[in-house]
Amino acid sequence: MPSPELEIQNLKVSFSTPKGKLTAVNGISFHINSGETLALVGESGCGKTVSALSILRLLPEPPAEIISGKILFAGQDLLSLSSKQFQDLRGNAISMIFQDPMTSLNPVLTVGEQIIETLLRHTNMNRQEARKKSAELLSRVELPAPKEKLTHYPHQLSGGMRQRVMIAMALACKPRVLIADEPTTALDVLIQSQILDLLHSLKKETGMSILFITHDLGVVAEIAQRVIVMYAGEIIESGPAQALLQKPYHPYTKGLIASIPKLGARDQPGSRLEEISGNVPSLDQRPSGCPFHPRCPSVMDQCKSQAPELSQVEPERYTSCHLEPESL
Which x/- pattern, by CB under 6 A, does the window 237-266 give for ligand SF4?
-------------xx---------------
Minimum CB separation of residue 251 from ligand SF4 in Å reads 4
Laid out side by side, the sheet with 37-41 consists of 94-97, 177-181, 209-214, 37-41, 226-231, 234-240, 317-319, 311-314
C-alpha distance from residue 114 to each of 125, 130, 132 (Å): 15, 11, 13
Minimum CB separation of residue 296 from ligand SF4 in Å reads 3
Q: Which of 74, 145, 273, 300 binds ligand SF4 (CB under 6 A)?
A: 300
Q: Which amino acid is at 259?
A: S
Minimum CB separation of residue 257 from ligand SF4 in Å reads 14
232 binds ligand SF4 per the rule CB under 6 A: no
Nearer to ligand SF4, 199 or 276 (CB): 276
* CB-based burial, 277-300: b 16+ in 10 Å, e otherwise: eeebbebeeeeebbbbbbbbeebe
Q: How far, in Å, CA of 56 to CA of 59, rounded?
A: 8
Residues 136 to 175 in contact with ligand SF4, rule: CB under 6 A: none
Q: Which of 38, 283, 308, 318 binds ligand SF4 (CB under 6 A)?
A: 308
212 binds ligand SF4 per the rule CB under 6 A: no
C-alpha distance from residue 225 to each of 29, 31, 98, 231, 259 (Å): 18, 13, 21, 20, 21
33 binds ligand SF4 per the rule CB under 6 A: no
Binding site for ligand SF4 (CB under 6 A): 250-251, 290, 292-293, 296, 298-300, 303, 308, 321-323
